[in-house]
């Protein structure tokens, strides 16, 4: 666990009495259920005093084995089970659905589509409960996962901002130990949680998927099993560095969703953005739609939110007294839900004056439509009047996204009022659509090639693009041609596309030691967590080629070593025995400790001394 995460968790909701998940796994081989760190925040430090303090309980751990798998690649996924219908059980008396603590993991072990008991017993020989393992799905990685369960379990109708903070801090605490994260959550406030986490998890580089179900996972007929299975497969095999929401075979950007049905299994929709991925016979990811960071900063959590926000929905003949009461202190931000394309009653000078006075007092008011589809448009006089009163156009944000974004932006005390207004109109996490000027029309590279090959159908065109772009990108990267890569990016190339060996342009640039290319790729959203066929990240590629300047850049952008402890110790000892100081320096720059011990208990320092004594 990182030191800053541990310090914050001590002062807020803490996780367990052990100092580090990785150390705990190495020393105990198993995480006990009971010694979980209690919440320690006093009521004055909470955003909402109705928040129920939580304990995070663990019954198994992906980290019980520090040895690499022998015959396949594995990815580790942490499931944070917060509650919701997905884990409820009918009681014996009236058949009422109730949350049942500490049964989820044991029940999942009996589901062959969610746990491969044979593989698990062979791979993990610890007598205590090993982690769960998905059966082979034909994807590149075998997904090993563990469930950490909150106590008490939460009905999402009782969710608070403090619950969002708790989940965000838990993800940060275990960020380097796992390849992806799944949050099991109730559906009623799932869209709010997904939106809030999307803003709080800054510079996110791994998949965080929120899911749940309309029918409990333990019922004979349930959507929960499919939702969980799909979430685990994507979190363990695809680096989609966003907070997403998985439901009914569709992966949505979390801050674009709303719950639209009480009874249908297709309970969530994303009215203004198509799904990022659809699950059919194959999983199809729309990589062009995946949000790309434009920063080289490390992942961090912004754990402060402002609770003084609200939703005000206009209706005919709304009184000025209602609006005035809503805009009085301590309110600091309001999502104003207006008619149509952002229109308000221009004939109501009293309302406009009240709104204008509020914005002059520094209250941030964001205009969102009551319609689920479409965007705010100031072309109408009724919408322009609100802009003149200081109301900020909210584009096509959902009310859930606008509210949580307001809470996030208002909590940024380092930002000025003008900056906060600017940030509310900007796309911080892909929560709103920003019009982009067309630079290159339709004459892109793939279209030109398709014409020469007489390809016309959309399916054939997409297939051609999937085959050609990754290889061309890697070739251009290998030649160090940043200008040509920029042209391809403008044509729509996804810079984390992987070739037949699952190598991305960042793998290639890291191996070549081209710092200018690495910097360019990182500044345009290339993922530092993608793995090639050998399960190497770009950081590992740089280490194996001793590209020290590149290693420093990658670490600056949030890359970290992900080798099992024993494998890392073996690599260090081998370098020490061979006198390979440059390789040892590479590992040190990448964050390795020279105190890692191999299966015999020896460190690379022992190996160095033994090698020195043998020469004498």
**244 counts as catalytic:** no
SS3 278: strand
Per residue, what are the HEC states of 156-185?
Answer: HHHCCHHHHHHHHHHHHHCCCCCCEEEEEC
Task: Count how many residues are written for the chain.
Answer: 616
291: closest CA among 404, 374, 205, 179? Answer: 205
- At residue 202, φ and ψ (nearest 5 deg) are -85, 140
CA distance 405 to 255: 9
Residues contacting 257, CB < 8 A, separation 6+: 190, 191, 194, 195, 245, 268, 269, 270, 398, 400
Q: Which two three-digit tokens encode residue 184?
A: 């099991």
DSSP 8-state assignment for residue 434 = -
> In angstroms, how far is CA 461 from the centroid of its own chain?
30
User: How far is residue 248's CA from residue 264's CA, in Å, rounded to a whole number?
Assistant: 10
Specify the 3-state DSSP secondary structure of 402: helix
**Sequence-ordered list of residues with C-beta below 8 angstroms from that of 308, at least 6 positions apart, any chain:** 330, 331, 332, 333, 410
Category of 401 on φ-ψ map: left (φ > 0), alpha (ψ -120 to 50) or beta: alpha
**C-alpha separations of 294 from 170, 246, 297, 303 in Å:** 25, 25, 9, 22
Contact 289, 274 (CB under 8 A): yes
Residue 484 in contact with residue 493, Cβ under 8 Å?
Answer: no
Active-site residue identified among 187, 338, 477, 537: 187
Residue 16 DSSP label: B
Q: CA-to-CA distance for 154 and 161, rounded, in angstroms?
A: 13
Instruction: State CA 501 to chain mean position distance.
Output: 25
- Helical packing angle, 161-173 and 190-200, nearest 10°: 50
**Catalytic machinery residues:** 187
């Amino acid at each position: 666990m990182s030191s800053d995460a541990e310090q914050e968790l001590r002062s807020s909701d803490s996780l367990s009495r052990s100092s580090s998940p990785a150390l705990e796994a190495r020393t105990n081989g198993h995480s006990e259920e009971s010694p979980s760190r209690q919440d320690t925040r006093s009521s004055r430090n909470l955003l909402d005093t109705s928040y129920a303090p939580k304990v995070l309980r663990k019954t198994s751990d992906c980290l019980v084995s520090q040895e690499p798998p022998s015959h396949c690649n594995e990815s580790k996924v942490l499931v944070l089970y917060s509650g919701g219908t997905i884990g409820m059980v009918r009681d014996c008396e009236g058949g009422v659905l109730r949350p049942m603590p500490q049964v989820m993991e044991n029940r999942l072990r009996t589901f062959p589509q969610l746990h491969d008991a044979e593989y698990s017993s062979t791979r993990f020989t610890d007598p205590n409960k090993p982690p769960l393992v998905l059966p082979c799905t034909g994807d590149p990685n075998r997904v090993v996962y563990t469930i950490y369960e909150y106590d008490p379990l939460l009905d999402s109708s009782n969710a608070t901002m403090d619950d969002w903070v708790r989940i965000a801090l838990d993800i940060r605490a275990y960020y380097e130990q796992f390849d992806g994260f799944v949050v099991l959550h109730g559906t009623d406030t799932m869209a709010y949680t997904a939106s809030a986490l999307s803003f709080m998890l800054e510079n996110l580089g791994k998949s965080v998927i929120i899911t749940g179900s309309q029918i409990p996972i333990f019922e004979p007929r349930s959507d929960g099993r499919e939702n969980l299975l799909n979430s685990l497969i994507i979190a363990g095999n695809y680096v989609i560095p966003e907070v997403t929401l998985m439901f009914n075979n569709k992966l949505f950007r979390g801050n674009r969703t709303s719950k639209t049905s009480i009874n249908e299994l297709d309970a969530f929709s994303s009215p203004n953005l198509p799904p990022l991925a659809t699950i059919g016979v194959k999983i199809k990811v729309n990589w062009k739609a995946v949000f790309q960071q434009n920063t080289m900063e490390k992942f961090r959590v912004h754990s402060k939110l402002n609770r003084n926000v609200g939703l005000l929905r206009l209706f005919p003949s709304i009184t000025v007294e209602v609006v005035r009461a809503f805009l009085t202190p301590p309110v600091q931000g309001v999502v104003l839900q207006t008619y149509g394309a952002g229109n308000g009653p221009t004939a109501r000078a009293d309302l406009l004056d009240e709104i204008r006075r509020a914005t002059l007092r520094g209250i941030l008011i964001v205009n969102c439509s009551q319609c689920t589809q479409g965007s705010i448009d100031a072309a109408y006089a009724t919408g322009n009047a609100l802009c003149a009163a200081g109301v900020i156009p909210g584009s096509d944000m959902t009310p859930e996204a606008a509210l949580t974004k307001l809470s996030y932006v208002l909590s940024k005390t380092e930002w000025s009022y003008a900056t906060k207004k600017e940030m509310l109109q900007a796309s911080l996490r892909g929560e709103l659509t920003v019009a982009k000027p067309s630079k290159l029309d339709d004459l892109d590279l793939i279209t030109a090639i398709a014409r020469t090959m007489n390809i016309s159908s959309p399916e054939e065109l997409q297939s051609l693009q999937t085959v050609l772009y990754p290889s061309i990108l890697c070739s251009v990267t290998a030649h160090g041609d940043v200008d040509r890569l920029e042209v391809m990016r403008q044509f729509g190339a996804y810079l984390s596309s992987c070739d037949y060996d699952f190598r991305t342009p960042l793998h290639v640039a890291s191996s070549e030691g081209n710092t200018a290319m690495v910097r360019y790729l990182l500044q345009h959203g290339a993922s530092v967590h993608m793995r090639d066929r050998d399960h190497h990240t770009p950081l590992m590629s740089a280490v194996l080629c001793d590209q020290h300047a590149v290693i420093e850049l990658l670490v600056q952008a949030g890359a970290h070593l992900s080798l099992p402890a024993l494998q890392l110790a073996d690599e260090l000892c081998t370098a020490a025995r061979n006198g390979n100081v440059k390789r040892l320096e590479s590992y040190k720059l990448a964050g390795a400790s020279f105190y890692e011990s191999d299966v015999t208990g020896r460190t690379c320092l022992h190996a160095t001394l033994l090698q020195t004594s043998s020469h004498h």
